[in-house]
Copies of this chain bind each other. A is one copy, B any other.
Amino acid sequence: MEYSVREVTGFLQTHFPQAYEGKKEFHVEAVGARKARVRQSFSGSQLRPGGTISGPTMMGLADFTFYVAILGALGPVMLAVTTNLSINFLRKPLPADLIAEAEILKLGKRLAVGHVHVFSDGQAEPVAHASLTFSIPPQ
Protein backbone atom coordinates (compact mmCIF):
# COMPACT_ATOMS: atom_id res chain seq x y z
CA MET A 1 0.00 0.00 0.00
CA GLU A 2 1.15 3.51 -0.71
CA TYR A 3 0.05 6.86 0.57
CA SER A 4 -0.93 10.05 -1.24
CA VAL A 5 0.60 13.52 -1.25
CA ARG A 6 -2.46 14.70 0.66
CA GLU A 7 -2.16 12.05 3.37
CA VAL A 8 1.57 12.59 3.81
CA THR A 9 1.25 16.39 3.89
CA GLY A 10 -1.56 16.18 6.44
CA PHE A 11 0.60 13.99 8.66
CA LEU A 12 3.59 16.32 8.32
CA GLN A 13 1.60 19.47 9.07
CA THR A 14 0.32 17.86 12.25
CA HIS A 15 3.57 16.33 13.47
CA PHE A 16 6.24 18.59 11.94
CA PRO A 17 4.64 22.04 11.96
CA GLN A 18 8.11 23.62 12.02
CA ALA A 19 8.64 22.38 8.43
CA TYR A 20 5.87 24.72 7.36
CA GLU A 21 6.86 27.76 9.36
CA GLY A 22 8.86 30.80 8.46
CA LYS A 23 11.55 30.22 5.90
CA LYS A 24 11.32 26.48 5.46
CA GLU A 25 8.28 26.17 3.23
CA PHE A 26 8.52 22.56 2.12
CA HIS A 27 5.98 21.43 -0.47
CA VAL A 28 5.51 17.72 -1.08
CA GLU A 29 4.96 17.49 -4.85
CA ALA A 30 4.88 13.71 -5.37
CA VAL A 31 5.10 10.47 -3.41
CA GLY A 32 4.81 6.83 -4.43
CA ALA A 33 6.70 3.80 -5.70
CA ARG A 34 9.41 4.36 -3.08
CA LYS A 35 10.03 7.86 -4.38
CA ALA A 36 9.23 11.41 -3.31
CA ARG A 37 9.72 14.92 -4.68
CA VAL A 38 9.77 18.00 -2.43
CA ARG A 39 10.13 21.68 -3.38
CA GLN A 40 11.66 24.18 -0.98
CA SER A 41 10.66 27.77 -1.71
CA PHE A 42 13.56 30.13 -2.12
CA SER A 43 14.15 32.61 0.65
CA GLY A 44 16.88 35.20 0.93
CA SER A 45 17.64 33.99 4.46
CA GLN A 46 19.09 30.74 3.06
CA LEU A 47 21.86 32.66 1.35
CA ARG A 48 25.50 32.41 2.29
CA PRO A 49 28.16 34.93 1.34
CA GLY A 50 28.69 34.70 -2.41
CA GLY A 51 24.95 34.44 -3.10
CA THR A 52 24.74 30.68 -2.74
CA ILE A 53 22.26 28.63 -0.74
CA SER A 54 23.85 27.16 2.38
CA GLY A 55 24.92 23.54 2.68
CA PRO A 56 22.80 22.92 5.78
CA THR A 57 19.74 24.10 3.82
CA MET A 58 20.37 21.39 1.21
CA MET A 59 21.15 18.78 3.87
CA GLY A 60 17.90 19.56 5.67
CA LEU A 61 15.93 19.30 2.44
CA ALA A 62 17.55 15.96 1.47
CA ASP A 63 16.83 14.56 4.92
CA PHE A 64 13.22 15.74 4.84
CA THR A 65 12.59 14.41 1.33
CA PHE A 66 13.92 10.96 2.14
CA TYR A 67 11.70 10.91 5.20
CA VAL A 68 8.72 11.80 2.99
CA ALA A 69 9.58 8.85 0.70
CA ILE A 70 9.54 6.54 3.75
CA LEU A 71 6.20 7.97 4.90
CA GLY A 72 4.83 7.39 1.41
CA ALA A 73 5.90 3.76 1.54
CA LEU A 74 5.11 2.88 5.16
CA GLY A 75 2.31 5.27 6.05
CA PRO A 76 1.88 8.12 8.46
CA VAL A 77 2.30 6.34 11.75
CA MET A 78 5.96 5.52 11.97
CA LEU A 79 8.81 7.27 13.74
CA ALA A 80 11.98 6.82 11.71
CA VAL A 81 15.29 8.54 12.45
CA THR A 82 18.30 9.31 10.29
CA THR A 83 21.35 7.23 11.17
CA ASN A 84 23.64 8.26 8.29
CA LEU A 85 23.66 11.06 5.74
CA SER A 86 26.48 11.46 3.22
CA ILE A 87 26.21 14.39 0.81
CA ASN A 88 28.32 15.61 -2.09
CA PHE A 89 27.93 19.26 -3.07
CA LEU A 90 28.30 19.45 -6.84
CA ARG A 91 27.52 22.97 -8.03
CA LYS A 92 26.61 26.36 -6.64
CA PRO A 93 22.80 26.49 -6.44
CA LEU A 94 20.98 29.33 -8.16
CA PRO A 95 19.00 31.83 -6.05
CA ALA A 96 15.85 29.81 -6.82
CA ASP A 97 13.64 27.07 -5.40
CA LEU A 98 15.34 23.77 -4.61
CA ILE A 99 13.75 20.52 -5.77
CA ALA A 100 14.74 17.23 -4.18
CA GLU A 101 13.98 13.78 -5.58
CA ALA A 102 14.37 10.83 -3.22
CA GLU A 103 14.51 7.14 -4.09
CA ILE A 104 14.49 4.28 -1.58
CA LEU A 105 16.91 1.54 -2.69
CA LYS A 106 16.21 -0.80 0.21
CA LEU A 107 13.23 -0.84 2.52
CA GLY A 108 14.08 -3.45 5.13
CA LYS A 109 12.51 -4.20 8.47
CA ARG A 110 15.13 -2.25 10.37
CA LEU A 111 16.80 0.07 7.86
CA ALA A 112 15.71 2.14 4.86
CA VAL A 113 18.54 3.13 2.52
CA GLY A 114 18.47 5.35 -0.54
CA HIS A 115 19.57 8.56 -2.18
CA VAL A 116 18.39 12.05 -3.06
CA HIS A 117 19.25 14.33 -5.97
CA VAL A 118 18.85 18.07 -5.23
CA PHE A 119 18.29 20.48 -8.14
CA SER A 120 17.93 24.20 -8.62
CA ASP A 121 14.51 24.72 -10.18
CA GLY A 122 14.78 24.59 -13.95
CA GLN A 123 18.30 23.11 -14.11
CA ALA A 124 19.06 19.62 -15.45
CA GLU A 125 22.24 18.97 -13.48
CA PRO A 126 21.97 18.32 -9.74
CA VAL A 127 23.50 20.72 -7.21
CA ALA A 128 23.89 17.99 -4.59
CA HIS A 129 23.54 14.23 -4.19
CA ALA A 130 23.01 12.58 -0.81
CA SER A 131 22.86 8.97 0.40
CA LEU A 132 20.84 8.31 3.53
CA THR A 133 20.05 5.55 5.99
CA PHE A 134 17.09 5.70 8.35
CA SER A 135 16.51 3.37 11.25
CA ILE A 136 12.94 2.06 11.35
CA PRO A 137 11.65 1.19 14.80
CA PRO A 138 9.62 -1.96 15.34
CA GLN A 139 6.02 -1.20 14.36
Contacts and interface: CB of A to CB of B under 8 A. Distances in A.
B81 A106 contact: no
A68 to B, nearest CB: 15
A107 B117 CA distance: 16
Contacts of A54: 60
Contact of A106 (B86, B90, B105, B113): B90
A110 B135 CA distance: 10
Interface stretch (A2-10, A25-33, A70-78, A126-134): A126-134
Nearest to A87: B85
A2 to B, nearest CB: 18
A108 to B, nearest CB: 8
B63 A56 contact: yes
Contacts of A59: 56, 59-60, 85
A113 B85 contact: no
B79 A89 contact: no
B84 A84 contact: yes
A89 B108 CA distance: 12
